Amino acid sequence: MLRDFADSHSRRSFLKRASAVLLPQAGRAAPNQDRLIIDTHLEVWTLDPKFPFRHPERPNLRVDVAAPIENQVEQMRDFNIRYAVLINPRYFGWDNSYIAHSLQRNPRLFVAHGLINPEDPKVHERLRYWVKERGFQGMRFSPIYHPKSTWLNSKEHYRLWREAERLGAVFNFYILPHQMPMLEDMAARFPGVKIVVDHAGKPDLKLKDPWPEFRKMFRLKRFP
């Protein structure tokens, strides 16, 4: 915890000093003082053994530095960030307990997006549990880790999407361009599901012309 505090303290000190240099008319309130600022993707994690790591693709992952919720609350206060969306960074796998813990401690600051295993036959029940029982707003899916899989728009997932419509849940997708047509298919079938596309759909910006990949995401604009 001392290391966590030292890291967060030094970072906050640096940011404050940088702000004083960069902001005009030093000494006056920062220009964002009256603006509504929302962090839409805040990943938090702890090294507390009560919340063990279970990364689904990297089971032996070790992390030395924590990003605990206490640090984030302080930084939000320092920089006038009103609200944030908590994201499970995948370190905990399908166990969203630390995100739920963070949400419970600060319900006026946060909403939460967790992770559920898309290949679990009862994935719709897991969605219902985290939304109804633990107060989550939605779930993040990462088909980018399964580039050859077709689970995203499989018929087996229709029940999951119907449950999301019923619950008013948000689905956040970390996705590759070639997978976008599968998401487009589901958006057409289940227009009541709120969809976020993460990282702009991960087009390859090294291509001579990346726009064809971008346009696969832009096709989603026809949906409500």
Res. 201: pLDDT tops 80 = yes
pLDDT at 1: 45
The answer to the question of residue 1 being in a domain is: no
Q: How many domains does the chain have?
A: 1
DSSP label of 157: G
Q: Which residues contact 120 (CB under 8 A, 6 or more apart)?
A: 94, 126
Res. 3: pLDDT tops 80 = no
pTM of the entire predicted model? 0.82
The answer to the question of residue 27 being in a domain is: no
Confidence of residue 28 (pLDDT cuts 50, 70, 90): very low
Q: List the domain range (segments joined by +) for residue 116.
A: 39-222
Res. 25: pLDDT tops 60 = no
Q: Write down the H helix ranges in 41-179.
A: 69-78, 97-105, 123-128, 158-167
pLDDT at 223: 94
Q: What would the two tokens of residue 218 be? A: 């832009």
The answer to the question of residue 16 being in a domain is: no
The answer to the question of residue 8 being in a domain is: no
pLDDT at 26: 41
Q: Determine the Cα–Cα distance for residues 26 and 16; give it in Å rounded to an integer.
A: 11
Average pLDDT for 68-78: 96
Q: What is the pLDDT of residues 142-198, one digit of tens each?
A: 999 999 999 999 999 999 999 999 999 999 999 999 999 999 999 999 999 999 999
The answer to the question of residue 25 being in a domain is: no
Average pLDDT for 14-31: 49
Confidence of residue 34 (pLDDT cuts 50, 70, 90): confident
Q: Which residues contact 184 (CB under 8 A, 6 or more apart)?
A: 216, 219, 220
Q: Determine the Cα–Cα distance for residues 112 and 137; give it in Å rounded to an integer.
A: 6
Confidence of residue 20 (pLDDT cuts 50, 70, 90): low
Average pLDDT for 116-121: 97
The amino acid occupying position 118 is P
The answer to the question of residue 93 being in a domain is: yes
The distance between the two most distant Cα atoms of the chain, rounded to a whole number of Å, is 59
Q: Output helix, strand, coil percentages for the chain, rounded to the nearest 5.
A: 45, 15, 40
The answer to the question of residue 12 being in a domain is: no
Mean pLDDT of the chain: 89
C-alpha R_g of the chain: 19
We report the CATH number of the domain holding residue 153 as: 3.20.20.140
Q: What is the pLDDT of residues 85-105, one digit of tens each?
A: 999 999 999 999 999 999 999
Q: Determine the Cα–Cα distance for residues 216 and 146; give it in Å rounded to an integer.
A: 18
The answer to the question of residue 19 being in a domain is: no
